[in-house]
Every structure is written in C-alpha cells, then in structure tokens.
Amino acid sequence: MTMSDHHHQIIVQRRLERMLIAFFVVCALFVVGVYITAPSIYTQGLMLSSGQTDRYPFPATLLLVGLLVFIALIIVGVLRHWRWLFWLLLVAFGFSILQIPATILQLVGVFPDSFPVWYSLSRMGVALVEVGLAVWMIQIYRSYGVWAIGKKKTRPA
C-alpha cells in the first residue's frame, strides 16, 4: 500500500466515523425533540394507560434516558472501531429498508398505524438515510475492510 493509498484510507475512515456520529447525534436530538413535543408517542409505545395525568410519566422518561445512553454507547463504539458494532450497524441499517414499504402500507391504511403521520414519515426518512449508510459501509468494507482500517492479510498456503 502506497502512502497515498494509506492517506486515502484514513480519510475514508474519518469520514465514516464523522457521518455515523453525526447521524447518531441527530437521532439523539430527534428522540429528545419527540419526547418534548409529543411524549404520548413514548407512552403509547410503552403501552401505558391513557389515564396518566403526568405529561412526562416516569417510564417514558426512563426510556428516553435509556435511548440516550444506548446512543452514547454506539458513538463510543464507533470511535473505538468495535468490529462487532460495524457488522451490527450494517445489518440493522440494511434491514431498515423494510421500514419504507411498511410505512407506505400504514399510510394507505393496509396496516394499522397508531402514530401521527409526521412521526411515521420521519421514521421513513431515517430509514432512507440508514439504507444509504449501509450501502456506503458495504462499499468501504469491500475496498478497505471493516471501519476502513485495512483488510486482514491472508497467509499463503
């Protein structure tokens, strides 16, 4: 590998890190934004009784904190180049393509949808971004290996 190839590999690696971290920071902001503007989405998702008098019930707040801790853990894993996390993100992002037809079917009434339209459309938008990231991660893997840190050298037989 020439110096130029190694430099390009480092650029690709840092770009992937920055894109994934930016994605997860935006996800964290979205999670907090949904919690502030429409906490009923969380209470509905947790199947809490609709008779709750609290606007922000404790289980929904606990879910928010758990999601934020989970996102922070993923960001740490991206920075530390956890190999298993690369594959987990790749599979999860790849299967996000199923969210797109599911959302369309919910919007046309084939499947029941208990969430507001704006939330369903935003989830579909996130799925589009995730699929794009999955395609990009596959390209990076094929060219530079996991996290763009190089492919394992194979031993001659």
What is the residue-wise DSSP string for 89-117?
HHHHHHHGGGHHHHHHHHHTTSS---S-H
Does some domain include residue 155? no
In a domain, 156, yes or no: no
What does the pLDDT read at residue 129? 97
Kindly tell me the sign of the dihedral angle through the C-alpha atoms of 70, 29, 10, 133. positive
pTM of structure: 0.85
Q: pLDDT-based confidence at 72, cuts 50/70/90?
A: very high
Task: Give the span between the Cα atoms of 69 and 92, in whole angstroms.
Answer: 18
Q: Which of 8-12, 38-42, 50-54, 119-123 has the lowest mean pLDDT?
A: 50-54
Range of the domain at 39: 3-48+56-147
Q: What pLDDT, in 10s, does the model give residues 2-19?
A: 777 888 889 999 999 999
Q: What sections of the chain are H helices per DSSP?
A: 3-37, 40-45, 58-80, 83-95, 99-107, 117-144
Mean pLDDT of 111-130: 92
pLDDT higher than threshold 80 for residue 154: no
Looking from the CA of 131 toward its CB, the CA atoms found within 13 Å total 12
Q: What pLDDT score was predicted for residue 59?
A: 79
> What pLDDT sits at residue 155?
61
Q: Per the structure, how many domains does the chain have? A: 1
Model pLDDT, residue 33: 93
Return the higher-pLDDT residue of 42 and 17.
17
Is there a domain that residue 153 lies in?
A: no
Instruction: Give backbone dihedrals phi and psi of 78, rounded to 5 degrees, phi first.
Output: -65, -45
pLDDT tier at 153, thresholds 50, 70, 90: low
Please report, as a single letter, which amino acid is at residue 41. I
- 79 inside domain: yes
Domain presence at residue 62:
yes
**Residue 148 gets which letter from DSSP?**
G
Mean pLDDT along residues 36-63: 72
Residue 56: predicted pLDDT: 67
Interval 104-132 mean pLDDT: 93
